[in-house]
Amino acid sequence: MRRVYKILLLGLITLTFLSYIFLYSQTKIFLARHGQTDWNREGRIQGWTDTELNELGKKQAQALYNYLKRENIKVIYTSTLKRTIQTAKPFTKKTSIPIQNIKELREMNMGILQGHLNSEPEVRKELNLMKKNLNYRVPKGESYMDFYKRVSKFMEKILKKHKNETILIIGHNGTNSMILAYLLNISLEKAIKIYQPNNLVFTIFLLPGQKSPTVVWKYLR
């Protein structure tokens, strides 16, 4: 009986130790998109245009805070565009988590297409050219390759800086797809097909020795 007890006790200690290792030897990234803007609702290309959240977007920002308020987040990164900064506003009001506005996290510069509807024939033509040739730049904009280099350079830095910590990135649909391409080591051709709704949050777990991160997602209501 004592032997069985010792085996059970040893198993419990081992399980506790492994749980500790799992909890404190992982990097956890919450990857959120900014709340909705009027241009999102209208189907307009935003790019670097500095649009603001609409009323639904503000509610989505609050929902993000409610979802993450008990997490031990060390830092919040947003782009320098208002729609991401405003999405972080509930955290600014209710926590002391440092927030950094990073230009590398801006949405893709869509040049002359900014402000136009996605459904316009000429716009669709340009978008298709960009997808077929990842080095193709819309006039006054950047290519997917330019975009990926910008975002991946930043991600390389923060992964080194925040090893075994939990961080929140509030980005854009395009920016976040580049982040996923970098973290999951998937091709840009696949990454640009990823669509992240304004109320969806990815959680990415990076564990020591794991070949590929674990990714889960949740829709916020």
Do 53 and 36 touch, CB atoms closer than 8 A?
yes
Question: All domains of the chain, ordered by start, with CATH?
Answer: 26-219 (3.40.50.1240)
Measure the CA–CA gap between 88 and 65, rounded to whole angstroms.
Answer: 8
Measure the CA–CA gap between 39 and 113, rounded to whole angstroms.
Answer: 13
Active-site residue, from 34, 126, 142, 172: 34
Active-site residue, from 104, 107, 122, 126: 107
pLDDT at 139: 96
What tens-digit pLDDT sequence spans the chain (221 residues)? 555 444 433 343 333 333 434 445 699 999 999 999 999 999 999 999 999 999 999 999 999 999 999 999 999 999 999 999 999 999 999 999 999 999 999 999 999 999 999 999 999 999 999 999 999 999 999 999 999 999 999 999 999 999 999 999 999 999 999 999 999 999 999 999 999 999 999 999 999 878 789 999 999 98
Residue 34 is a catalytic residue: yes
Regarding beta strands 27-33 and 200-206, do their DSSP bridges make them parallel or antiparallel, or are they unpaired? antiparallel
Residue 116 is a catalytic residue: no
Q: Specify which residues 32 forms β-bridges with.
A: 170, 201
Vertex 15 angle, CA 13 and 19, to 5°: 115
